[in-house]
């Protein structure tokens, strides 16, 4: 046996002690017989071997050995000995066991860790995954191990969904810990998506060389959603146009958004800690305030409109919603109030309502006007009959003064009735009007002259006309009537108290702003944008309550005692203004006087309208028409046609007295038949215009067809432009205005008859 120094050190036996001793004593002291037998068998085997084995030293200490045996042979090839070399590996084994234990520990740790962990080697291949990592990636460990990390750990940007770099590669490249970008979304193999937060760190060996990467990540979807919703609600609060206020349960403001600051003009910081009532102002409706207060007190919601005030003092309409907020236990924590500035909408609504009211008003006026006009038209015939017959009776009763006096009273009453009917007709625009280029200043001067005659003692009347007011297209008589009606009302309003009435005339540019300010001017503006003449009649009398002011243009509306007012004065004014395509406005308040403003469109050109003047004019009721009615009984033959029997009867008697021979008809057919039977039997045809069936124009047409040279006159209770034009077309010689007095009528007939003779 050879026992070298190293063997001596290892086992504690010197060479002297060892040589010659059985191996069993030297190394195998503590082993069992069975084990000893295997060792011996190995020992005797001729094959070289390596193995690990535990032996004992001289003092019995076990020692781990790494054993290599090499057989030795003699020249005959017989196995004669064995070289056994042994290395003490006790420490190495200890270390290995420690490692195994720590490995186990690590596995347990990874298993129980809440975060997901993936470990890769230096090549980026997965070497470990814990269960959380398995769950989040959707890759079971057995499949994930050995795959590239980028395959198992598929991450994208949550917003753009662009693929993100593999963190293992980043760590390998940079050699340091790498955090994941915000908004990282892990796309799991099973289709799930997780918002994750993580970091990856290098694993280094003792020499500092990177041997792998450990990636730790966790599912933050929940938190991300919460953060995101918080962020979005902040963005929403900032960007919405409604003002948002949050108060505590004590109703003091704890937060306000930019829109609130913009609407109210208060900086957000200024409002903090205040009670919302600082937005109220002088015209804020106390009832609404009380409702809000009640809602806050009862912790119910409020939804309504309230007039609030901005920092600069201007009012705005606030469409306000207040909602109480409770915590999960049901305890009131806050109020959220939402403010929307609806001032513009409110203004539009008000304008719309005003327009509607105006429309209703004008429809009412029109309806009443049509009604009154219809009645007045029939009255015309009746009154003409009364007046005419009274006239005839007067002639017959010349010798009987008491009868004459009665007839005079009939005539006076009839005349008043006739004037009234004329007023109604002009209100309902059925009165003929003769529009000419008219300078308003002379009309005003003439009216002032007339008015002065009736001016109460202590009332002053002045007129001021601007120099350069252009002409308007108007009927002088009617404009004069407007001025007189307005001024008369003013005088009456004074009730004998001292005061002043002023007439002012000037020109004004009619633009959109003015048309907007006075809705009545809109129609004028639409047709005559440009300049308007403005006539103002104002007084410093008692003025009117709103309730009166709103109704003054209504026909028959009056505040005066029965015999003093008819309620027609302003209706007539209104009708005339309308017929002139103008507008009239009124400003009046109790104690502040009254001011009527009349707008008339300026005539376009000096000859425009005038040249279109119709060729046939209604017979003038002027002095020159009243030519010697002293009957020159020439015996002309007149065909008189009117569907009103009383009128026919009157005219027959009236004209007969003037020396005419009159054939009266109430039926158009009969009249035409008579003419057809003998076309030369008549010198003049007078026909009513407004008859059932054929109109006076139709009759005139047929008459002209029978005999071109036979003059035809049409009598009518109202004569407008359309009738004049049409009459001219048919060749009608004259239009007779029925309402004129009997002698005027006769004079016209006479003039016509003379032209025939
Ligand atoms: P009438 O004069 O017959 O009453 P109007 O149509 O002319 O009829 O006037 C209607 C009402 O308008 C009057 O009764 C009066 O109350 C009121 N009014 C008109 N003009 C004035 C004014 N200048 N000042 C005060 N009230 C007025």
**pLDDT attached to residue 387:** 87
Average pLDDT over residues 582-595: 93
Residue 616 pLDDT exceeds 50? no
pLDDT tier for residue 592 given thresholds of 50, 70 and 90: very high
Q: How far is CA 436 from the centre of its chain?
A: 46
Q: How many A from CA of 489 to the centre of ligand 1? A: 5
Q: Which residue would you say has higher pLDDT here, 26 or 441?
A: 441
Q: Which residue would you say has higher pLDDT here, 236 or 669?
A: 669
pLDDT tier for residue 588 given thresholds of 50, 70 and 90: very high
Alpha-carbon distances, residue 554 vs 158, 371, 430, 573 (angstroms)? 74, 13, 17, 11
Atom of ligand 1 nearest to the CA of 553: 6
Q: What is the pLDDT of residues 104-158, one digit of tens each?
A: 888 888 888 889 999 999 999 999 999 999 999 999 999 999 999 999 999 998 8
**Which residue bears the tokens 């009839």?**
414
Residue 447 pLDDT exceeds 80? yes
Residue nearest ligand 1's atom 8 by CA = 567
Q: Which residue would you say has higher pLDDT here, 461 or 524?
A: 461
Alpha-carbon distances, residue 225 vs 103, 194, 221, 490, 713 (angstroms)? 38, 11, 6, 77, 95
Q: How many A from CA of 553 to the centre of ligand 1? A: 9
**pLDDT attached to residue 54:** 83
Q: Give percent above pLDDT 90 in the chain.
A: 37
d(CA 512, CA 529): 8
**Which residue bears the tokens 């017979």?**
619
Look up residue 390 and give its DSSP letter. H
Query: Backbone dihedral region of 208: left (phi > 0), alpha (psi from -120 to 50 degrees) or beta?
Result: left
Q: How many A from CA of 559 to the centre of ligand 1? A: 7
d(CA 698, CA 685): 13
Q: What is the pLDDT of residues 86-96, one digit of tens each?
A: 888 888 888 88
Cβ atoms of 135 and 150 within 8 Å: the answer is no
Q: How many A from CA of 568 to the centre of ligand 1? A: 9
Q: What is the pLDDT of residues 648-658, one digit of tens each?
A: 998 888 888 88
Look up residue 602 and give its DSSP letter. B
Q: Which of 558, 566, 590 to mutate to test the pocket of ligand 1 (most atoms within 8 A of CB)?
A: 558
Cβ atoms of 671 and 679 within 8 Å: the answer is no
Average pLDDT value for the chain? 85
Average pLDDT over residues 556-565: 80
Atom of ligand 1 nearest to the CA of 565: 3
Residue 607 pLDDT exceeds 50? no
Q: What is the pLDDT of residues 672-722, one digit of tens each?
A: 999 999 999 999 999 998 888 899 999 999 999 999 888 898 988 767 777
pTM: 0.44
d(CA 357, CA 698): 42
Handedness of CA 248, 254, 259, 263 (dihedral sign): positive
pLDDT tier for residue 252 given thresholds of 50, 70 and 90: very high
Residue nearest ligand 1's atom 23 by CA = 490
Residue 37 pLDDT exceeds 90? no
**pLDDT attached to residue 756:** 57
Alpha-carbon distances, residue 341 vs 94, 291, 650 (angstroms)? 83, 20, 73
The pair of three-digit structure tokens given for residue 176, joined into one six-digit string: 């340091």
Helix (H) or strand (E) holding 423: helix 401-427
> Shortest CA distance to 531 belongs to which of 553, 550, 552, 506?
506
Question: Interhelix angle for 696-706 vs 721-730, to 10°?
Answer: 10
Q: Which residue would you say has higher pLDDT here, 384 or 462?
A: 462
Q: Which residue would you say has higher pLDDT here, 607 or 488?
A: 488
d(CA 35, CA 134): 47
Q: Which of 552, 592, 593 to mutate to test the pocket of ligand 1 (most atoms within 8 A of CB)?
A: 552
Average pLDDT over residues 32-53: 82
Four-CA torsion 435, 439, 445, 447, nearest 10 degrees = 10
* Ligand 1 pocket, CB under 6 A: 489-490, 493, 539, 541, 544, 548, 552, 557-560, 565-571, 594
Query: Backbone dihedral region of 266: left (phi > 0), alpha (psi from -120 to 50 degrees) or beta?
Result: beta
Q: Which of 486, 547, 570, 591 to mutate to test the pocket of ligand 1 (most atoms within 8 A of CB)?
A: 570
Assign 128 to helix, strand or coil: strand
Average pLDDT over residues 33-40: 82
Atom of ligand 1 nearest to the CA of 555: 6
């Amino acid at each position: 046996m050879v026992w070298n120094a190293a063997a001596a050190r290892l086992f504690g036996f010197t060479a002297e002690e060892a040589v010659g001793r059985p191996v069993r004593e030297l190394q195998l002291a503590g082993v069992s017989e069975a084990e000893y037998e295997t060792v011996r068998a190995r020992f005797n085997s001729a094959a070289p071997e390596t193995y690990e084995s535990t032996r004992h030293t001289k003092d019995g200490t076990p020692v781990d050995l790494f054993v290599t045996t090499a057989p030795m042979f003699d020249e005959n090839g017989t196995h004669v000995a064995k070289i056994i070399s042994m290395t003490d590996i006790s420490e190495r084994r200890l270390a290995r066991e420690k490692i195994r234990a720590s490995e186990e520990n690590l596995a347990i740790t990874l298993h129980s860790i809440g975060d997901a962990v993936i470990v890769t080697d230096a090549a980026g291949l997965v070497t470990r995954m814990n269960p959380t990592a398995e769950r989040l990636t959707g890759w079971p460990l057995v499949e994930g191990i050995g795959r590239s990390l980028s395959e198992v750990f598929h991450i994208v940007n949550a917003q753009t969904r662009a693929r993100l770099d593999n963190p293992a590669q980043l760590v390998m490249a940079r050699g340091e810990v790498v955090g994941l970008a915000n908004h990282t979304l892990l796309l799991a193999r099973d289709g799930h998506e997780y918002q994750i937060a993580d970091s990856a760190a290098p694993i280094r060996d003792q020499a500092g060389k990177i041997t792998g990467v450990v990636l730790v990540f966790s599912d933050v979807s929940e938190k991300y959603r919460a953060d995101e919703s918080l962020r979005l609600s902040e963005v929403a609060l900032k960007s919405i146009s409604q003002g948002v206020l949050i108060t505590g349960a004590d109703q003091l403001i704890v937060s306000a958004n930019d829109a609130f600051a913009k609407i109210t003009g208060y900086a957000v910081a200024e409002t903090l800690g205040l009670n919302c009532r600082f937005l109220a102002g002088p015209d804020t409706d106390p009832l609404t305030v009380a409702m809000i207060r009640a809602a806050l007190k009862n912790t119910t919601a409020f939804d309504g409109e309230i007039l609030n005030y901005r920092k600069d003092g201007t009012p705005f309409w606030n469409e306000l919603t207040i909602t109480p907020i409770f915590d999960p236990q049901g305890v009131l924590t806050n109020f959220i109030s939402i403010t929307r500035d609806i001032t513009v909408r409110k203004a539009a609504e008000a304008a719309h309502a005003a327009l509607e009211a105006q429309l209703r008003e004008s429809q009412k006026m029109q309806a009443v006007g049509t009604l009154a006009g219809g009645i007045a038209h029939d009255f015309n015939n009746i009154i003409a009959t009364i007046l005419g017959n009274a006239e005839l009776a007067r002639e017959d009763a010349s010798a009987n003064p008491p009868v004459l006096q009665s007839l005079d009273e009939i005539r006076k009453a009839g005349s008043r009735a006739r004037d009234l009917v004329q007023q109604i007709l002009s209100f309902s625009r059925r009165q003929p009007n003769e529009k000419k280029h008219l300078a308003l200043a002379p009309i005003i001067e003439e009216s002032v002259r007339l008015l002065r005659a009736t001016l109460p003692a202590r009332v002053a009347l002045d007129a001021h006309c601007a120099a350069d007011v252009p002409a308007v297209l108007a009927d002088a008589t009617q404009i004069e009537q407007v001025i007189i009606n307005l001024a008369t009302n003013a005088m009456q309003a004074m009730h004998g108290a001292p005061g002043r009435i002023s007439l002012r005339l000037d020109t004004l540019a009619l633009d959109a702003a003015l048309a907007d300010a006075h809705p009545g001017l809109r129609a004028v503006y639409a047709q005559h944008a440009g300049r308007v003449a403005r006539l103002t009649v104002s007084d410093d009398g008692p003025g009117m309550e709103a309730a009166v002011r709103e109704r003054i243009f209504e026909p028959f509306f009056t505040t005066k005692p029965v015999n003093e007012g008819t309620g027609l004065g302003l209706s007539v004014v209104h009708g005339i203004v309308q017929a002139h395509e103008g507008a009239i406005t009124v400003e009046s308040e109790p104690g502040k006087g009254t001011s009527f403003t009349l707008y008339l469109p300026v005539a376009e050109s000096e000859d425009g309208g005038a040249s279109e003047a119709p060729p046939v004019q209604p017979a003038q009721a002027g002095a020159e028409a009243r030519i010697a009615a002293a009957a020159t009984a020439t015996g002309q033959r007149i065909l008189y046609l009117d569907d009103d029997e009383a009128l026919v009867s009157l005219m027959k008697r009236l004209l007969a007295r003037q020396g005419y021979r009159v054939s009266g008809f109430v039926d158009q057919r009969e009249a035409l038949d008579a003419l057809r039977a003998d076309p030369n039997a008549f010198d003049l045809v007078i026909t009513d215009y407004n008859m059932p069936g054929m109109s006076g124009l139709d009759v005139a047409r047929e008459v002209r067809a029978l005999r071109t040279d036979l003059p035809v006159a049409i009598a009518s209770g109202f004569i407008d432009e359309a009738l004049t034009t049409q009459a001219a077309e048919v060749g009608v010689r004259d239009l007779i205005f029925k309402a004129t007095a009997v002698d005027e009528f006769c004079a016209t007939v006479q003039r016509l008859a003379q032209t025939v003779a």
